[in-house]
Amino acid sequence: MIWRNVWVGVAALVTVPVLLGAIENATKHPLGPMAAVPPELRSLIRHFVNAEAHRSTGVLRRREEQIRTRIDEPQEPDPEPMPPI
């Protein structure tokens, strides 16, 4: 996991100035500001976003399954019932 954090940090140092420069220049290209970003970097960004989407979706699905499992388990009755209001 630490290699991922290092990779993201290095990529951010290199990428941020390029992306900011691309945003500052208006373009009518279908890719918008990303047209000014080198194709290799666009590909890297796409792969990262795809991998991160799969990772975060997996985390969400596991969390939902844990919640669903807890809800489906029989609940023990409260030892002391609530007094009437």
Burial class of 84 by CB neighbour count within 10 A (0 to 12, 13 to 18, 19+): exposed
CA gap 19, 33 in Å, rounded: 8
Q: What is the DSSP string of 31-83?
A: TGGGGGS-HHHHHHHHHHHHHHHHHHHHHHHHHHHHHHHHHHSPPPPPSSPPP
**Whole-prediction pTM value?**
0.54
The one-digit pLDDT tens for each residue of the chain (85 residues) are 454 555 566 666 667 777 777 778 767 888 888 888 888 888 888 898 899 999 999 999 999 998 888 877 776 766 676 666 6
> Which three-class secondary structure state does DSSP give residue 23?
helix
For Cα atoms 62, 49, 69, give the angle at the middle one, nearest 5 degrees: 5
How is the chain split into domains, by residue range?
A: 37-69
